[in-house]
Amino acid sequence: MSTPPETLTLRRPDDWHLHLRDGAPMASVLPWTARQFARAIVMPNLKPPVTTAAQALAYRQRILDALPAGSDFEPLMTLYLTDNTPPEEMARARAAGVVALKLYPAGATTNSDAGVTDVRRTYRTLEAMQREGLLLLVHGEVTDAEIDVFDREAVFIERVMAPLRRDFPDLKVVFEHITTKDAADYVAAADARTAATITAHHLLYNRNALFVGGLRPHWYCLPVLKREEHRRALVRAATSGSPRFFLGTDSAPHAATLKEQSVCGAGCFTAPAALELYAEAFEDAGALDRLEGFASLHGPAFYGLPLNAGTVTLRRTPWTLPDTLDFGNAAIKPLRGGETLRWKLD
């Protein structure tokens, strides 16, 4: 047995799926991301959602204005796809530097009411995206009440993803935050225009984490944590070295008061220790040497963007993540808050 490394240095990574919110809450969570990641794909599910190029430019400017002095973090903007997104908006989006559109099935998750009711309604817009080279990012769950919550991703593959891939072979599609063996197998077998992001929490935890000693709202996200066999399949995919899989935290901050009540919003706040959590997952799989590809190389290659300059270093230093952090005028509880983490970002 070789001794485990004390430090781990990676090319500066990116977060390919992030919720920043807006206003004062955004200003408090943004530094956590900007200290680790050079770029992040910023989700458009604000209230109201970011649906036009002009709104994306304005949101981008609010993010830049909220950055800590000296930060060179670059937000990569997305639009929220609706049944009525005009195809003509795609050229404007491209010109504004928007990189992708996000497909939320209507009602699938937090702030998705304006989402797509039937993908066929968006086909003219998808054609325009394909022409403009914009990516499609997909929340891959059906929303039918009859389908068991734990099966919604698998059913989505057969009902939505497979027809979409058949009808738009040239569109680059990211199956966001995959949570099942079904999705990992689907993406591994798909062509080179299909990829997936995987969160740290889905690599580290199975659905038992939701019920340890009582109901745990801070572990509740969508798609919800799945069985252990699925977690293992995600770890195999993330550590396989395949360029189809890359880092997307889906860090989704909600005020603690909104998580800790009778109806709790979906979303895990992982940004404060994102890289540390991924490093634990990769180390437990004996694959620390694969983390750089997953975190720093595969995403830019898929998006057609340059690799980042510079590096980040993680050190094997046990430390306790604070239980509570600032969230505008409210408090927020990060995932693993109050617990010891194995790695610490320099």
For ligand NCD, which residue of 267, 272, 334, 337 counts as binding (CB under 6 A)? 267
Q: Which residues are catalytic?
A: 250
Tell me which stretch binds ligand NCD (CB under 6 A): 28-36, 108-116, 239-247, 303-311: 108-116
221 binds, among Zn ion, ligand NCD, none (CB under 5 to 8 A by kind): ligand NCD
| 300 and 306 Cβ atoms separated by less than 8 Å | yes
For ligand NCD, which residue of 28, 78, 109, 296 counts as binding (CB under 6 A)? 109
For ligand NCD, the closer of residues 139 and 181 by Cβ is 139
Contact call for residue 45 and ligand NCD (CB under 6 A):
yes
Nearest CA-CA partner of 303 in 108, 70, 68, 38: 38
For Zn ion, the closer of residues 80 and 343 by Cβ is 80
Distance CA(113)–CA(49), nearest Å, equals 10
For ligand NCD, the closer of residues 220 and 282 by Cβ is 220
Residue 137 pairs in a beta bridge with: 102, 174
For ligand NCD, which residue of 250, 278, 282, 321 counts as binding (CB under 6 A)? 250
Distance CA(98)–CA(303), nearest Å, equals 12
Contact call for residue 110 and ligand NCD (CB under 6 A):
yes
266 binds, among ligand NCD, Zn ion, none (CB under 5 to 8 A by kind): ligand NCD
| In the complex, least distance from residue 43 CB atom to ligand NCD, rounded to whole angstroms | 6
Nearest CA-CA partner of 182 in 140, 144, 146: 140
Distance CA(185)–CA(162), nearest Å, equals 13
Contact call for residue 18 and ligand NCD (CB under 6 A):
no
Contact call for residue 143 and ligand NCD (CB under 6 A):
no
User: 287 is written with which tokens?
Assistant: 């694959």
Print burial letters for 187-201: b (CB count within 10 Å at least 16), e (below 16): bbebeebbbbbbbbb
Which positions lie near Zn ion, rule CB under 5 A?
Answer: 250
| 17 and 249 Cβ atoms separated by less than 8 Å | yes
User: 190 is written with which tokens?
Assistant: 């798909």
User: What residues line the site for ligand NCD (CB under 6 A)?
Assistant: 19, 45, 109-111, 139, 221-222, 250, 252, 266-267
